[in-house]
Amino acid sequence: MFPPSVLIAGCGDVGSRLANQLLAYDWTVYGLRRSVSQLPNGVIGVAGDLFDSRCPGDWPTSPLDYLVYSASATDHDEAGYQAAYVDGLSHVLSWLKQNGQQPKRLLFVSSSSVYGQQHGEWVDESSPTQAVGYSGRLMQQAEQLALGSGIPASVVRLTGIYGPGREWLLTQVRQGYRVVTEPPLYGNRIHVDDAAGLLAYLLQADARGVALDDCYIGVDDAPAPLAEVVAWLREYLGVTEWSAEASVRRTGSKQCSNAKARALGWVPRYASYREGYAAILEGNL
């Protein structure tokens, strides 16, 4: 039996890490992005623009077993989110149809922004989505497009991704910025390698014949108040001064559960912010 094939549409940071994990298992991996020169070695490049309705000229002609839609908004406004998540997915689904391809499953990389809970509530896949901003609202719209595409689909709602190159909070802590302690502002995070790892785990599970649900939350084992994370980082970095300027700010407060993904057998490599940030700061990535 031949190894499965997958097209990763929007093969950026998370997508490239996913590609490397699948290549290690001999999958055939196609990566769609504007600049295919930035794809990992071994990935078959598909030069294309998700914002353009025209099918890329080097779109694969062979059957595709899986599609992962992992786009990022170029512009972080309502039009940018509409283009990246709703319009872009519509384009890819159209290109599949044009080429007579029917993948076994579509993974749509979504976001926990679809949850609008703000008072520290625990959230899982069955919790009501209460998006309060355009980002969550448009992500919900794109999720429904994926789930109604006619292709078996799962949406994967990733929480705050951090890792090499995603070090905004570290910069804030080094500058001594303050954070509100009361009421606690719970945050949820997942290391970028674990985000890719969850996607890889779901694809491999499906390929083995495991029945997947239509939604999973991608988060580590330990949602934590932002003040706790900042205090730990300050001690780890040896920061003793406080800035007189603006504080670290974030909106919302909820605690996301990874129980469903764990029940499937997935285990995050970085169980909490402690392991993840320590690996970054020790240069082990």
Q: Which helix (H) or strand (E) holds 38?
A: none
- C-beta of residue 199 within 8 angstroms of C-beta of residue 240: no
Q: How confident is the model at residue 251 (pLDDT cuts 50, 70, 90)?
A: low
CA distance 140 to 270: 28
- pTM comes to 0.95
Rounded (10°) CA dihedral 59, 63, 64, 65: 180
pLDDT computed for residue 63 by the predictor: 95
For position 285, what pLDDT does the model report?
45
Of 35, 66, 27, the residue nearest 156 (C-alpha):
66
Q: Are 258 and 217 in contact (CB under 8 A)?
A: yes
Q: Is residue 278 pLDDT above 80, yes or no?
A: yes
Tokens representing 128 are: 């009501």
Cα–Cα distance for residue pair 189/168, rounded to 1 Å? 13
Residue 245 has pLDDT above 90, yes or no: no
